[in-house]
Structure 1
Amino acid sequence: MTQRQGAAPTCGRLLLLLWLVLAPGSLLAQGINQSEPLTVHPRQSLTTIERSFALPTWGEATLFDRRRETLPETVPAFFRDSTLKADLRTYYRDKVTTGTQPAAVTEAWAAGGSLSWESGKLFERLHGGVTLYTSLPLYAPEAYGNTGLLLPNQSGFAVVGELYGKVDLPLDHTVTAGRYTWSTPYVGRQDNRMVPNTFYGYMLTGSQEDKGRDLSVRYGGGYLATIKQRDSDTFMSMAQAAGAPVDRGTVAGGAVLTWGPASIGAFEYYTRDILNILYAEGSYGAEAWPAVEAMLSIQAADQRATGANLLTGSYFSTGQLGVRLQVGADPVMVTAAFSQVGGGAAMQNPWSNNPFYTDGLVLDYQRAGEGALLLGGTVNLRHVGLPGVTVQLQFFDGWTTAAPGGPLVESEWDVTVDWRPQVMLPGLWFRFDYGVAQTWQGSSYTRSNEVRAILNYRVRVF
């Protein structure tokens, strides 16, 4: 085992950190919600398009749930109906890359999260909110930076990531302006580190529902001028975040239609002289036979340069197609997925997670011309005396002949363990990830080992 200068071996340090994280009394140092917990039900394993225009919800503890009942009726609804939430998180990440090139290490342990206040409604129409995000280093050697948990130099930060106002319009429409979070395939929270992406701009969202036909549609669109990325305390233009040396905003919009067990949606993102992205996805879930659920999902994206081609200096065009099948019979679910990238260029995800099914813990399998296969299984361990514990094992295999440098092959094994003690401690969620990835390209070989340990605690103060 390689030992880093001035530090204990990775395994020993990790065990010590896990003990500190799980030690009694540590809840007050824990963190905000990260994506969604594991599930063994295909219909609950929502696709990227199905999560659009919705925030992650996985439960929370409540301290003063009867506060409103104790307030005088003369208190304006703007204050009486307000909410205060603390999303706390501690996160350890360690990635070691070895091979034909010199070894590279990124490592940090951070604590922080967010404190958010949202008002009640003024004149039954106007409301708003503010969210303070912070990430502070607990263990962060300067030489091992760029973990995404802190600033690139391993410094902590605090930032008002959300400061917004809303106007509720007739027919279930809302206008939001200011700093806020978006949840769409290519403009999203990317909440897989300490704090999420947030955006500055304005948007109109709406929804319509026909309960009799089990039919609903959610839609929205707007203009996003800037983004605060997950490892930053400043906002930059959407174009700069994509890698272009100019200030440009992004116009985005889309809709999601759900009809019984089926859903379909599409989103468009346009940044003048930079990039245009079109994304579409559909899924259908059914009960294959008693107690067995199945879900088939298909996704496609098209990316291309626009106008003056300021992103790369020349025109490019590429795309990606993906398909996923999930079959579950509680407490087990199996997953198989495949994706293919066009040969023109690699796919880009400058403002969100990679939305494709074949996104691994270490690698994203989005190189030019890359085909990727995913095989995985998820099991809930409550039947063996471990309630709230879910384990997932995934294998990825990718290959391409169009990558710069010649033909390339890469593979990855990922293990994820979730623990959610919903009865004893609602709002608590612990996740452990381990991934090992290997890449071969001619005489070059790279191996990456990554460990993540995250403890989230969500509490609604009132």
Structure 2
Amino acid sequence: MRHDRDGAEKGRADRCRRRRAAAALLAAVVAAGVAGEAAAQGFQQAVPIPSTTKQSLTTIERSFNPAPPPALALFPDVHREMQDAPAFFRDARVELNLRSYYRDNVKNAPTGATVSEAWATGGWAAIETGRLFGLISGGAVFYGSLPIYAPPDFGNTGLLKPDQQGYAVVGQLYGKLHLSDSLDFIAGRYLYDTPFLGPQDNRMTPNTFYGYALQGSLGNPASGPAVRYGGGYIAAIKQRDSDVFVSMARAAGADVDRGVGVAGAVLTWGAASLGAIEYYAQDIINIAYGEAKYGVDLPFGLDGALAAQYADQRSTGANLLTGSAFATDQFATRLQLGYRTAILTAAYSVVDPGFAMQSPWSANPFYTDSLVLSFQRAGENALMFGLSYDFTPIGLDGIAAGIQYFNGWTSAPAAGAPLVEDEWDFRLEWRPDWKPLSGLWLSARYGLANTFQNNVTTRTDEIRLTLNWKVKLY
């Protein structure tokens, strides 16, 4: 009888999920239409599907690199009319990022079904001044997320607070000291983008940080070698579904207040890149990360890119994270072949058998990260195969799709009993190449994951529907 009840519960959960998915899809279509009317007035989770291997940036390539400004300005005349104003006002930027997000995660385990579901709306508004006396500027970013549909019993989606309540927070409030045209000192609340300390912007709002840093660049990437570099001390983090800042140590899981020292650099030269970053938290953890990538043009209109990454993690000082010393590492490599706007991807990763990998202040930066599973258990080997295609050349402007398959396995004692897990991910998106809708990004994703351990299979289905529209007012 128990098995019959469990099966019935799973069946009901599956039926509910399908009904919710259909309703959410309809809602997303309606929301897209509303956004289009208003306008007439990033293969990783946080970035769009790339059209070529050159656009498929690794996490190290994005490090210490400010995001490009939105392409669409709603009121361009305002900027032109301020050409004679002081630079502090003339060069100011005001940007909006409007976001609507539906997420439904259903986990079917032998003990029953667990559901996390919400539909939220919000995003952020940002303002950054021009330079005062050619030396100082500042900015602020206000973030918020409000529930549209948020059943109280289905929390922990990451779109809202764990109890399904909305939130609002000044996530960035910073000042910049411009030591030169290519060297800035930044202090306050700010967003940094590095492999193990980054925005993890795959929910409603990103991680942001409190601290200070020096960021700069040398050389010209268009004509020869160029270096971007950065370093500083980060004391606290506002996690993506929170409205408060907590110390970096507490965010990692230690019952103490500690910050993180960060230093690194990225060298780019044509189609090649090489970078390394070090993160050190006293008595908590040390993370060393390195990554290299090389791209090449091949015969018959093909192009390719080979990348490799490595991270070493170990406890430091008093071992306050786990109470005892630990050390682990992970290596991964990725090969991509492109033809016109199609990209075929294969990747492999392996984790040290002694301890699982940690990602306390960012998304998982490894190539085998998927929609549901991270494939970072102790001793886990993982393979990934993917295919993506941008349909613009055949007349479907801005539409792209992708499919990925992941398979992982480990028999390391630190991971428990021998385990095998796999996942299929599907993705469809639209980024219209039409000026009134420039900056609009609609995305639909579905993941199906299975984990087999101790003769038990756990299945997880996840649906994500997002509408993202980024513009600048002037």
State the TM bucket, normalised to the shorter chain.
over 0.9
**What is the identity, as a one-letter code, of the residue corresponding to 1:65?**
P
Rounded to whole Å, the distance in 1 between the matches of 2:37 and 2:165 is 23
Rounded to whole Å, the distance in 2 between the matches of 1:243 and 1:275 is 11
Give the 3 Å change call, closer, same or farther, for CA 247–215 of structure 1 in structure 2.
Answer: same
Secondary structure at 2:34 match in 1: coil
Rounded to whole Å, the distance in 1 between the matches of 2:180 and 2:68 is 26
Size of the alignment, in residue pairs? 459
The residue that corresponds to 1:180 in the other structure is: 190
Superposed CA offset, 1:133-156 (max 9, x none)? 000000001110010000110000
The residue that corresponds to 2:5 in the other structure is: none
Give the 3 Å change call, closer, same or farther, for CA 245–59 of structure 1 in structure 2.
Answer: same
The residue that corresponds to 2:179 in the other structure is: 169
The residue that corresponds to 1:422 in the other structure is: 433
**What is the identity, as a one-letter code, of the residue corresponding to 1:422?**
D
The residue that corresponds to 2:108 in the other structure is: 98
| Aligned ranges 1:10-25 → 2 under 5 Å | 10-25=20-35
Question: Is the 1:188–1:353 Cα contact (8 Å) retained in structure 2?
Answer: yes
Superposed CA offset, 1:57-112 (max 9, x none)? 48432111132322372x32211221100011000000000031211100000000
The residue that corresponds to 1:368 in the other structure is: 378
**What is the identity, as a one-letter code, of the residue corresponding to 2:243?**
D
Rounded to whole Å, the distance in 2 between the matches of 1:452 and 1:57 is 25
Rounded to whole Å, the distance in 1 between the matches of 2:462 and 2:16 is 20
Question: Is the 1:36–1:56 Cα contact (8 Å) retained in structure 2?
Answer: no
| Aligned ranges 1:329-348 → 2 under 5 Å | 329-348=339-358
Question: Is the 1:113–1:134 Cα contact (8 Å) retained in structure 2?
Answer: yes
| Aligned ranges 1:170-249 → 2 under 5 Å | 170=180, 172-210=182-220, 214-249=224-259
- Quick check: 1:273 aligned with 2:283? yes
Superposed CA offset, 1:273-310 (max 9, x none)? 00000000000000012521100000000000000000
| Aligned ranges 1:113-152 → 2 under 5 Å | 113-152=123-162
Rounded to whole Å, the distance in 1 between the matches of 2:14 and 2:443 is 26
Superposed CA offset, 1:1-38 (max 9, x none)? 52489998234323332333223356769xx9973211
| Aligned ranges 1:290-301 → 2 under 5 Å | 290-301=300-311
The residue that corresponds to 1:431 in the other structure is: 443
Give the 3 Å change call, closer, same or farther, for CA 160–99 of structure 1 in structure 2.
Answer: same
Give the 3 Å change call, closer, same or farther, for CA 375–343 of structure 1 in structure 2.
Answer: same
Out of 40, 54, 72, the residue aligned to residue 51 of structure 2 is 40
Question: Is the 1:354–1:364 Cα contact (8 Å) retained in structure 2?
Answer: yes
**What is the identity, as a one-letter code, of the residue corresponding to 1:220?**
G
The residue that corresponds to 2:80 in the other structure is: 69
Could you tell me how far 1:44 is from its partner in structure 2?
A: 1.0
Rounded to whole Å, the distance in 1 between the matches of 2:69 and 2:421 is 34
Rounded to whole Å, the distance in 2 between the matches of 1:336 and 1:180 is 35
**What is the identity, as a one-letter code, of the residue corresponding to 1:97?**
K
Out of 314, 322, 329, the residue aligned to residue 304 of structure 1 is 314
| Aligned ranges 1:346-365 → 2 under 5 Å | 346-365=356-375
Question: Is the 1:207–1:219 Cα contact (8 Å) retained in structure 2?
Answer: yes
Bigger mean CA deviation after superposition, 84-93 or 375-384: 375-384
Give the 3 Å change call, closer, same or farther, for CA 299–85 of structure 1 in structure 2.
Answer: same
Rounded to whole Å, the distance in 2 between the matches of 1:440 and 1:72 is 64
Q: What TM-score do the two structures reach when normalised by structure 2?
A: 0.93
Rounded to whole Å, the distance in 2 between the matches of 1:4 and 1:137 is 23
Rounded to whole Å, the distance in 1 between the matches of 2:397 and 2:195 is 32
The residue that corresponds to 2:7 in the other structure is: none
Superposed CA offset, 1:300-345 (max 9, x none)? 0000000000000000000000000000011211000000000111
The residue that corresponds to 1:447 in the other structure is: 459
Could you tell me how far 1:171 is from its partner in structure 2?
A: 6.3
Rounded to whole Å, the distance in 2 between the matches of 1:6 and 1:449 is 12
Rounded to whole Å, the distance in 1 between the matches of 2:251 and 2:178 is 31
| Aligned ranges 1:23-34 → 2 under 5 Å | 23-25=33-35
- Quick check: 1:54 aligned with 2:65? yes
Bigger mean CA deviation after superposition, 16-25 or 271-280: 16-25
Rounded to whole Å, the distance in 2 between the matches of 1:310 and 1:204 is 28
Out of 209, 228, 253, the residue aligned to residue 263 of structure 2 is 253
Give the 3 Å change call, closer, same or farther, for CA 35–55 of structure 1 in structure 2.
Answer: farther
What RMSD, in angstroms, separates the aligned Cα atoms of the two structures?
2.1
Structure 1 gaps of 5+ residues are: none
Instruction: Give structure 1 regions of 4+ aligned residues with deviation exceeding 4 angstroms.
Output: 3-8, 25-29, 210-213
Secondary structure at 1:67 match in 2: helix
Secondary structure at 1:294 match in 2: strand
Could you tell me how far 1:214 is from its partner in structure 2?
A: 1.1
Secondary structure at 1:296 match in 2: strand
Give the 3 Å change call, closer, same or farther, for CA 448–383 of structure 1 in structure 2.
Answer: same
- Quick check: 1:390 aligned with 2:431? no
The residue that corresponds to 1:460 in the other structure is: 472
Rounded to whole Å, the distance in 2 between the matches of 1:378 and 1:24 is 29
Rounded to whole Å, the distance in 1 between the matches of 2:282 and 2:83 is 52
Question: Is the 1:78–1:120 Cα contact (8 Å) retained in structure 2?
Answer: yes
Rounded to whole Å, the distance in 2 between the matches of 1:211 and 1:409 is 43
Identity %: 50
Question: Is the 2:21–2:104 Cα contact (8 Å) retained in structure 1?
Answer: no
Question: Is the 2:72–2:438 Cα contact (8 Å) retained in structure 1?
Answer: yes
Superposed CA offset, 1:182-237 (max 9, x none)? 01000001000000000000000110005686110000000000000000000000
**What is the identity, as a one-letter code, of the residue corresponding to 2:452?**
W
The residue that corresponds to 2:420 in the other structure is: 409
Could you tell me how far 1:174 is from its partner in structure 2?
A: 0.5
Bigger mean CA deviation after superposition, 415-424 or 338-347: 415-424
Rounded to whole Å, the distance in 1 between the matches of 2:347 and 2:27 is 34
Rounded to whole Å, the distance in 2 between the matches of 1:340 and 1:188 is 23
Question: Is the 1:2–1:9 Cα contact (8 Å) retained in structure 2?
Answer: no
The residue that corresponds to 2:4 in the other structure is: none
